[in-house]
Amino acid sequence: MPPTVINPTVTANWLTGFVDGDGSFFIKIYKSSSHKCDYNVRAAFDITQVPSEKVLLSTIGNSFFGGIYNLSCNSLATHMVFTNYLVHREFVEPFFIINRLLSRKYFDFIIWQKVLNLIGNKKHLNSADVDSIRELRELQHLHRKLIHPSILNEVESLRPDWCFKLDLLT
C-alpha cells in the first residue's frame, strides 16, 4: 500500500493518543559477556505501524524525539525503536511527562521511567540490581490487572478512577 497522508500535521496531543494505541515502553535484558554483570539492560520506546507508514514514523522521530532511532521493517510492520539513554532523558521522558498518556499504558511508562532512573544511577551494572529491574519489567507483563505498590501513589494522584481495592495492593 502507498503511504496515506490524511493530515500531515502531527501535534503533541495527536502523538500522545497515537502512542496510547501503537506505542510501547519496555525493558530489554539479555546476556552479554562484554558487560560487567553478564547482562545488558536497556530501556526501549517503540512505535509500530504498517510498513506503508514509514514516512509518518520518521516525521514523528525527527520532529519530537531527536531523530535518533532505528527503523525495523518487515512485510507486516515497521517499528521505530528508541534505545539511546540520552534520547530517552532529553526527548521521550519529558514529552510524556508533559503530554500524559490516558490509557493503562501510562503504567508501563511509570515502570519504564523507574528503570530509566536505575540505569541513570548505574544500578544496571550489578546482578542484584538487574534482578530488581527484571522484577519491574515483569510488572509490565501482568497485564496491569493490579497496580503495584511502588507506583500506587503516583497513579492514585493522576488517575483516582483507576484505584480500586487499595487494601489488596499493600
CB 107 within 8 A of CB 151: yes
- Residue 57: per-residue pLDDT: 94
pLDDT at 38 over 60: yes
Largest distance between two CA atoms of the chain: 52
Per-residue pLDDT, averaged over 29-33, amounts to 76
pLDDT at 34 over 70: no
Q: In whole angstroms, what is the distance from residue 43 CA to residue 109 CA?
A: 11
pLDDT at 52 over 90: no
pLDDT tens, residue by residue, 54-96: 989 999 999 999 999 999 988 899 999 999 999 999 999 999 9
29 strand-pairing partners: 41
60: cell is 514523528
| Domains identified in the chain and CATH numbers | 12-137 (3.10.28.10)
pLDDT tens, residue by residue, 113-167: 999 999 898 877 677 788 888 888 887 766 455 555 666 677 677 666 555 433 3
- Residue 87: per-residue pLDDT: 96
SS3 at position 22: helix
The b-or-e profile of 90-112 (16+ CB within 10 A means b, else e) is: ebbbebbeebebeeebbbbbbbb
pLDDT at 19 over 80: yes
24: cell is 510501547
27 phi and psi angles, rounded to 5 deg:
-120, 130
Q: In whole angstroms, what is the distance from residue 135 CA to residue 150 CA?
A: 12
